Amino acid sequence: MKFRSLLSASVVLSLSATLAACSAEPPATAVAGNGVDASTATSAADFGGLDALVSAAQEEGELNVIALPEDWANYGAIITGFEDKYDITVNSANPNASSAEEIQAAENQAGQDTAPDVFDLGAAVALANTDKFAPYKVKTWDSIPEGNKDTEGLWVNNYTGIMSVGYDSSRIEEPKKLDDLLGEMYRGAVALNGDPTQAGAAFAAVGNISALSGGSVADFGAGIDWMQKLKDAGNFLTVDPTPATIASGETPVVFDWSFNNIAAASGKSDFKTTIIPGAAYVSFYNEAISNDAPHPAAARLWQEWIFSDEAQQLFLEGNSVPVRVDALKESGAVDQALLDGATFGTTSADWITPTVDDTDAANKLLTERWSALTK
């Protein structure tokens, strides 16, 4: 599982480590065969249309992505689909990197041909690094809700999950309420997917716990207090969960995005996923193009691919909710069974998510209090 650093800006759905530090110099020019400077293009129209963008990207022949595990939100199929559709090689570096490490890799590799072309980031990191992004608006721009994109196209929400609890049903009973996890059955068993001061999934877990404990997405005090109770009960397991630790039974209970916990069942069939009754925590990740992309045309084509009907449906097949789900519903392109699975039986009426200000407030409190809890 991947430790994605800190989450996205908002939910607007009417759906109710570092790269290896060695490289040759980057390509001498970003100018495509038709004379377009791909690094400054803000839409496919700047290339003369999508077909011309495809040609320019195929001239480059490669795309560098980072922090995209194949089992995270169906990125394996999304990457393969891009390669097959456009005959462009995708170089995938450091799949388990955090969002913060994505930015660090871009800084360390600046000016080299192995630098990331594109990012997949949580909002706390994305909003702090907009000076590293190139503005771009995809052809499907108008069908992306206003609250899910930067007005200039510096970042765009791409997919979300539902915060859930995965559990080894061969050893552990399904928790019916949050405080069940404080019981003797869960001794030494309950893990977060990462450190909430660094990882988006863990941050969301504490946010969800806070809301279920009577707190809010802005004030994580209730969530941190509950985590202290979990620790005092001897139930907080500080091992970072991975598919291997889940398959081996080392991490029998995991707070994580629903798409991760559901995917973990492929390696352990009795690993089940549930949603704790109450407010369901939802958050989007963010797609962005590096303004230092060594393959600027391919980076822009990747953006077009991510927000196409085809790739958005691939997110859905990976049990994540794509940002353009309403447009897919309107066109009849959504499989309702897949949608029900991705939302895990929740509707927008059940969902909570932090605003940018909420995230800042929560980050400050976590910075002040989390290290003491984990000592």
Residue type at position 115: A
Q: What is the DSSP letter of 279?
A: P
Asked if the model's pLDDT at residue 178 lies above 80, the reply is: yes
pLDDT in tens, 229-238: 999 999 999 9
Residues 53 and 130 in one domain: yes
- Percentage, residues of the chain above pLDDT 90: 66
Residues 219 and 355 in one domain: yes
Residues 358 and 243 in one domain: yes
Average pLDDT (196-222) is: 89
Burial of 111 (0-12, 13-18, 19+ CB in 10 A): exposed
Note the helical H segments in the chain: 50-60, 75-86, 99-108, 123-128, 200-212, 221-232, 243-248, 258-264, 296-306, 309-317, 325-331, 336-343, 356-374
Domain range spanning residue 327? 38-159+283-345
Residues 258 and 360 in one domain: yes
Distance CA 93, CA 69 (A): 9
Q: Is 156 helix (H, G, I), strand (E, B) or coil?
A: strand
Asked if the model's pLDDT at residue 7 lies above 50, the reply is: no
CATH of residue 203's domain is: 3.40.190.10
Residue 305 lies in a domain: yes
Residue 21 lies in a domain: no
Asked if the model's pLDDT at residue 312 lies above 70, the reply is: yes
Between residues 219 and 288, the one the model is more confident about: 288
Asked if the model's pLDDT at residue 15 lies above 50, the reply is: no
Q: What pLDDT is recorded for position 4?
A: 44
Q: Could you give the number of structural domains in the chain?
A: 2
Residues 292 and 356 in one domain: no
Residues 167 and 153 in one domain: no
Give the pLDDT band of residue 303 (cuts 50, 70, 90).
very high
Distance CA 263, CA 72 (A): 8
Residue 3 lies in a domain: no
Q: What pLDDT is recorded for position 127?
A: 86
- In angstroms, what CA-CA distances link 264 with 36, 257, 259, 297, 370? 44, 11, 9, 35, 27
- Percentage, residues of the chain above pLDDT 70: 91
Give the pLDDT band of residue 82 (cuts 50, 70, 90).
very high
Antiparallel, parallel or unpaired: β 190-192 and 280-290: unpaired
Residues 363 and 226 in one domain: yes
What tokens appear for 152 in the block?
Answer: 């200039």
Asked if the model's pLDDT at residue 23 lies above 70, the reply is: no
Q: What pLDDT is recorded for position 114?
A: 98
Distance CA 327, CA 373 (A): 44
Give the pLDDT band of residue 219 (cuts 50, 70, 90).
confident
Residues 250 and 370 in one domain: yes
Residue 42 lies in a domain: yes
Q: How many CB atoms lie within 10 A of CB 250?
A: 15
Query: Hey, CA dihedral for 367, 369, 370, 372, is it positive or negative?
Result: positive
- Greatest CA separation for the chain: 68
309-317 vs 296-306: helix crossing angle, rounded to 10: 60
Asked if the model's pLDDT at residue 13 lies above 60, the reply is: no
pLDDT in tens, 90-113: 999 999 898 889 999 999 999 999
**Mean pLDDT for the chain?**
89
Q: What pLDDT is recorded for position 121?
A: 92
Average pLDDT (131-159) is: 96
Residues 136 and 108 in one domain: yes
Q: Quickly list DSSP for 12-72.
A: --S----S-S--PPPPS--B-TTS-BGGG--SGGGGTSHHHHHHHHHHH-EEEEES--TTS
pLDDT in tens, 242-295: 999 999 999 999 999 999 999 999 989 999 999 999 888 988 899 999 999 999
**Residue 78 in contact with residue 311, Cβ under 8 Å?**
yes
Residue 140 lies in a domain: yes
Distance CA 118, CA 295 (A): 9
Residues 80 and 151 in one domain: yes
- In angstroms, what CA-CA distances link 349 with 159, 279, 280? 18, 9, 9
Distance CA 15, CA 234 (A): 39
Residues 66 and 143 in one domain: yes
Average pLDDT (300-306) is: 98
Between residues 288 and 198, the one the model is more confident about: 288
**Residue 181 in contact with residue 175, Cβ under 8 Å?**
yes
Between residues 264 and 374, the one the model is more confident about: 264
Residue type at position 227: M
Least confident range from 30-34, 36-40, 153-157, 244-248: namely 30-34
Between residues 127 and 274, the one the model is more confident about: 274
CA 301: distance to chain centroid? Answer: 20
Rounded to the nearest 5 percent, the helix, strand and coil shares of the chain are 40, 15, 40
Q: What pLDDT is recorded for position 139?
A: 98
